[in-house]
């Protein structure tokens, strides 16, 4: 008890440092995400114009102005890579958020209502039978290209997984003593869901949202890479790789920069998801990782 109180009284910064020393991987991933987030927000301060075309200087090697060289239209590769962070981050977080809101709402409904459960399970069965990336490609190509379209197209195939996860958690929680007790004293409807069921789903939902974020970032890059994503002028990592295909043999670096950044971002998000999942799993948690 005394030790616990000492731990509580320890100043925040020291505690954070101690945590960082014990969990180097988690810390590095958090720092990478933070750095990329800052890059996304402050892109105009870091890099020059990512859209300006300069045909006279196409595919020129790095110089003082464009430190990663120029692409096949003479655009600044560094600036495009920096601005590309915005699209990936925006799509990743928006999809994770939308998937969570939709998935939790539908999942709780399916977990509590018998008819709802039947309908929702069959619908999710069917949606999960269609390969996610194909569904996203088809949606993105039919609706008009744009950021919102891409986010919707990627969210739709992500939702069923979240729905099933939340439903399974709700089914487990529904018969627990604290819920039946709440029901027996007359709690029902939204207060029951809000106070007694929703909090129990939050752990697994958070982990799943992290994975949804990672797969959304890859999916948006795939859409841009295949040419059905956001319009090609808007700098995105997938789009940069698509542009680099034709000159890949002579200028592999144009492919490498966005590829490495993309992989780094997805890797960080996935590792955080793994750590979160370990920390929230009582069987795996060692000395309370979080």
Partner 1 sequence: MLNYIAGRIASAIPILLLVAIFIFSLVNVTPGDPAVLIAGDNATPAQVEAIRERLRLDEPLPVRFFVWAGNAVRLDLGESIYSSQPVTRLIAQRLEPTFVLATVTLILTILIALPLGVVAAWKSNTWIDRSIMAFAVLGFSVPVFVIGYLLVYVFSVRLKWLPVQGYSPLADGVLGTLRSVALPSLALALVFAALIARVTRAALLEVLSENHIRTARAKGLSTWRILVIHALKNAGVPVITVIGIGFATLIGGVVVTESVFNIPGIGRLTVDAITRRDYPVVQGVILFFSVLLIVINILVDLSYALFDPRVKG
Q: Which residues bind partner 1 (CB under 8 A)?
A: 122-123, 125-135, 137-139, 141-143, 214, 218, 221-222, 225-228, 241, 248-249, 252, 255, 259-260, 262-263, 266-267, 270-271, 274
In whole angstroms, the minimum distance from the beta carbon of 97 to partner 1 comes to 21
> Smaller CB distance to partner 1: residue 43 or 214?
214
- Cα 167 to the center of its chain, rounded Å: 21
> Smaller CB distance to partner 1: residue 180 or 246?
246
In whole angstroms, the minimum distance from the beta carbon of 256 to partner 1 comes to 8
Q: Quick one: which of 269, 266, 286 has its CA closest to 278?
A: 286
> Smaller CB distance to partner 1: residue 179 or 258?
258
In whole angstroms, the minimum distance from the beta carbon of 6 to partner 1 comes to 29
User: Alpha-carbon distance 208 to 276, whole Å?
Assistant: 10
In whole angstroms, the minimum distance from the beta carbon of 225 to partner 1 comes to 6
Q: Quick one: which of 214, 213, 238, 215 has its CA closest to 227?
A: 238
Q: Quick one: which of 225, 220, 258 has its CA closest to 242?
A: 225
| Residue 82 in tokens | 């920096």
> Smaller CB distance to partner 1: residue 128 or 206?
128
> Smaller CB distance to partner 1: residue 47 or 265?
265
In whole angstroms, the minimum distance from the beta carbon of 277 to partner 1 comes to 11
CB burial readout 144-180, b (16+ within 10 A) else e? ebebebbbbbbbbbbbbbbbbbbbebbeebeeeeebe
In whole angstroms, the minimum distance from the beta carbon of 244 to partner 1 comes to 8
> Smaller CB distance to partner 1: residue 9 or 286?
286
Backbone φ, ψ for residue 132 (5° rounding): -55, -45
Sign of CA dihedral 225, 231, 237, 239: positive
């Amino acid at each position: 008890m005394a030790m616990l109180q000492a731990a509580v009284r320890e100043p925040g910064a020291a505690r954070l440092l101690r945590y960082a020393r014990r969990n180097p991987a988690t810390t590095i991933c958090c720092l990478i995400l933070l750095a990329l987030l800052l890059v996304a927000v402050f892109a105009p301060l870091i890099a020059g114009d990512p859209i300006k075309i300069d045909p006279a200087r196409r595919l020129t090697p790095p110089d003082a102005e464009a430190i990663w060289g120029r692409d096949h239209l003479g655009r600044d590769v560094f600036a495009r890579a920096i601005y590309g962070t915005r699209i990936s981050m925006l799509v990743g977080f928006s999809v994770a958020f939308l998937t969570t809101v939709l998935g939790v709402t539908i999942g709780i409904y399916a977990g509590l209502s018998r008819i709802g459960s039947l309908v929702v399970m069959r619908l999710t069965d069917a949606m999960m039978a269609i390969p996610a990336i194909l569904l996203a490609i088809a949606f993105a190509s039919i609706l008009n290209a744009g950021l919102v379209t891409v986010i919707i197209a990627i969210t739709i195939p992500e939702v069923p997984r979240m729905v099933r996860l939340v439903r399974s958690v709700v089914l487990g929680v529904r018969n627990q003593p604290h819920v039946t007790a709440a029901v027996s004293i007359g709690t029902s409807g939204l207060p029951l869901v809000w106070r007694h069921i929703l909090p129990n789903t939050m752990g697994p939902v958070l982990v799943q949202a992290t994975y949804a974020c990672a797969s959304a970032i890859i999916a948006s890059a795939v859409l841009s890479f295949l040419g059905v994503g956001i319009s090609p002028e808007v700098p995105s990592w997938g789009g940069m790789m698509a542009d680099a295909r034709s000159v890949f043999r002579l200028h592999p670096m144009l492919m490498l920069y966005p590829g490495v950044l993309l992989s780094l971002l997805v890797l960080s998000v996935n590792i955080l998801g793994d750590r979160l999942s370990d920390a929230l799993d009582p069987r795996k948690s060692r000395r309370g990782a979080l």
